[in-house]
Amino acid sequence: MKIAYSVEELRAEVAAWRRTGESISFVPTMGNLHDGHISLLTKARELANRSVVSIFVNPIQFGRGEDYAKYPSTLEADKQKLSAAGLDLLFAPNLDQLYPGGIEEDTRVSVPGLSSILCGQFRPGHFSGVATVVTKLLLNVQPDIALFGEKDYQQVLVIKQMVHDLLMPVQILGQPIVREADGLAMSSRNAYLNARERELAPQIYQAMIRAREKLLPQTLSLIAIETAGMAELAAVGFRPEYFSIRRAQDLGLPQAGDTCLQLLVAAWLGPARLIDNLRIELPEPLKAS
């Protein structure tokens, strides 16, 4: 596995592959890698001749008071995992490489609409931070395909919209959530949980499964199911931000006739903000409420 610390080194490697006609897949990460990331890399390797992973904790996608300063950095362990998983090139830039003019006056990319709902409502500026750094990464890695985990379902849609609107010549592929045996979605932020919180954390998944069971017969309103989900999580010690049933394709409010929905949840547990989501395929089209 090669490692590029600078944009120049990255471009030189990629250019050499391009000269010999090799295809490139890309997995952007913020490091502190877990099996979910490795499953993205495994898929990436199946889909192209060469694969690139980036590790960069992007300051501009964190709000004031969020966990940027304490975001776990485990670069040496990450390198070992990536090398063992057969990665060709790790791109691990520092702040100056990606933000040579600093972060205050830097150009920003924003995706309207999708970026202001759900997580965007609770984390203003977050998706613009993500869109900006992913643009910089895609422009320099120049992959044929880039893979993102669907735990960040809204992020995947924001990036697909951005790539569509900016005519970027890259395919964006979302990949299924990887879960722990007890149902907790794998996330670097799970490391913030103490033993008691870690035991409670899978309740998000369980609450989503219960909500799906309630939704399928279409006897209760969506609002009643969402309100019950919020209350169930609050009752066991979470501070839920949203428990929301949306259209899977664009996160709009469900309409009569829809069959493909997505349940999305964000909830604080102690110091960790956890997010998760679940696909709900209705056997019968949604009735008018």
Residues 150-209 that bind ligand PAF (CB under 6 A): 152, 155
What is the three-state SS of 218-251?
Answer: CCCCHHHHHHHHHHHHHHCCCEEEEEEEEECCCC
Site mask for ligand PAF (CB under 6 A), range 48-87, x = bound: ----------x--x--------------------------
Catalytic: which of 34, 37, 126, 164?
37
- Any contact of residue 32 with ligand PAF (CB under 6 A)? no
Number of neighbours of residue 107 by Cβ within 10 angstroms: 8
Site mask for ligand PAF (CB under 6 A), range 120-149, x = bound: ----------x--xx---------------
Closest alpha carbon to 173 in 149, 151, 137: 149
Q: Minimum distance between the CB of residue 165 and ligand PAF, rounded to whole angstroms?
A: 17
253: which residues sit within 8 A by CB, 6+ positions away?
246, 247
Residue 3, CB-side half-sphere exposure with 13 Å CA sphere: 12
Size of interface with ligand PAF, in residues (CB under 6 A): 10
Residue 233, CB-side half-sphere exposure with 13 Å CA sphere: 31
Q: Minimum distance between the CB of residue 153 and ligand PAF, rounded to whole angstroms?
A: 11
Q: Minimum distance between the CB of residue 169 and ligand PAF, rounded to whole angstroms?
A: 19
Exactly one of 28, 120, 174, 254 binds ligand PAF (CB under 6 A); which one? Answer: 28
Residues 218-237 that bind ligand PAF (CB under 6 A): none
Helices (H), 27-74: 35-47
Q: Which residue stretch of 25-33, 91-99, 112-120, 173-181 sits at the interface with ligand PAF (rule: CB under 6 A)? A: 25-33
164 classed as catalytic: no
Q: What distance in Å separates the CA atoms of residue 267 and residue 199, rounded to the nearest whole number?
A: 15
Residue type, 234: A
Q: What distance in Å separates the CA atoms of residue 229 and residue 210, rounded to the nearest whole number?
A: 8
Active site residues: 37
Binding site for ligand PAF (CB under 6 A): 28-30, 58, 61, 130, 133-134, 152, 155
